[in-house]
Structure 1
Amino acid sequence: MYKILVPVDGSEPASRAVQEAVSIASGKKDAEITLIYVSPSPVYFPFYSMVGPSLDADVKEIEEKEGNQMLDDIIEKASKNTKVTFRKKHLYGIAAQEICDYANDTKKDLIIMGNRGMGAFGQVILGSVSNKVLHLAQCPVMIVK
């Protein structure tokens, strides 16, 4: 089975990465595409810890709902004209590290991602997440513009 990981964040480059993954996977027998969305953990925002743990739980619940809805919407749209198997994964933490750890742990054959995401700082250059994944991943990485 050929396993492709596509990090998504709702951005246009991520959408193009999904399209590229579908194109590649459609030509492979038994291909599987896993879409991954990484929410920043509330631990990374000092404001949340000052307000209290109940806000952490509320933020996580909202992130979980919105993240899974986005993943479901992308899968619904991408799977319309293909027989490729789709999976989804929603994680929390530092995006580049979580993406690479997940790809390594699940032995993905390829990571396909957009050159820039929705992150405030990531839009300035190549994209801090895509740049870090490019350097940290143990499998091939394709950056889609």
Structure 2
Amino acid sequence: MFEKITVATDGSDHASEAIRIACDLAKKYNSKLHIVHTPQAIGDTLIVGYTAVPVPPTKEEIEKSGREVIGAAESEVREAGITDFTSQLVSGDPAHAIVEEAKAHKSDLIVMGRRGLGSLSGLLVGSTTTKVSQLAPCAVLTVK
């Protein structure tokens, strides 16, 4: 049924559950698994007097954080007994990047965590999960 599965991770508990379910499906259907992560720049804020100054992370910090997330996902997949998998760290808008990775790997299914809208920008723009569901050329399974 599912020959190729793409699983998206952001390092959250929801993503960890998505990885667990993707591994279960991969075992059941003897599927190839592809892990994708799109690191996002979340900076700190420096308070100077009465002024808050945003301090964006460096490119190196973003890449290091991304490698840590993808490495943790790979460990989860190995612990689940899956050996036939690939992983990719990609940049850009997460929804578009996930869909493009799924297309590139000819995935039959995208598995990802579902999260509530936690910010005003999320309300206005829509969540990554919603965007992936709208753009994906294949089935999308969202998990809590």
CA contact (8 A) 1:22 1:78 kept: yes
Partner in structure 2 of residue 25 of structure 1:
26
TM-score normalised per structure 1: 0.76
Residues 121 and 128 (structure 1), Cα distance of their counterparts in 2 relative to 1, 3 Å cut: farther
Structure 1 CA distance for aligned equivalents of residues 27 and 116 of structure 2: 25
Partner in structure 1 of residue 59 of structure 2:
60
Partner in structure 2 of residue 9 of structure 1:
10
Structure 2 CA distance for aligned equivalents of residues 36 and 130 of structure 1: 14
Aligned positions of 1:1-145 closer than 5 A = 2-29=3-30, 31-40=31-40, 59-116=58-115, 120=119, 128-145=127-144
Query: What percent of counterpart residues are identical?
Result: 31
Structure 2 CA distance for aligned equivalents of residues 122 and 25 of structure 1: 34
Per the TM alignment, residue 84 of structure 1 is displaced from its structure 2 partner at its CA by 3.9
Choose between structure 1 and 2: higher helix proportion. Answer: 1
Gaps of 5+ in 1: 46-54
CA RMSD of aligned residues (A): 3.0
Per the TM alignment, residue 139 of structure 1 is displaced from its structure 2 partner at its CA by 0.7
Gaps of 5+ in 2: 44-54
Provide Cα deviations, 1:69-118, integer angstroms capped at 9, x if missing partner.
21112211331241342211111111111111221122111100011189
Structure 1 CA distance for aligned equivalents of residues 93 and 104 of structure 2: 16
CA contact (8 A) 2:23 2:80 kept: no
Partner in structure 2 of residue 48 of structure 1:
none
AA matched with 1:103: A
After the TM superposition, which of the residue ranges 134-143 and 97-106 deviates more from structure 2?
A: 97-106
**Paired residue total:** 131
The alignment partner of 1:92 has SS state of coil
After the TM superposition, which of the residue ranges 88-97 and 109-118 deviates more from structure 2?
A: 109-118
Tell which structure's C-alpha radius of gyration is larger: 2
Structure 1 CA distance for aligned equivalents of residues 12 and 117 of structure 2: 6
The alignment partner of 2:141 has SS state of strand
Structure 1 CA distance for aligned equivalents of residues 12 and 121 of structure 2: 12
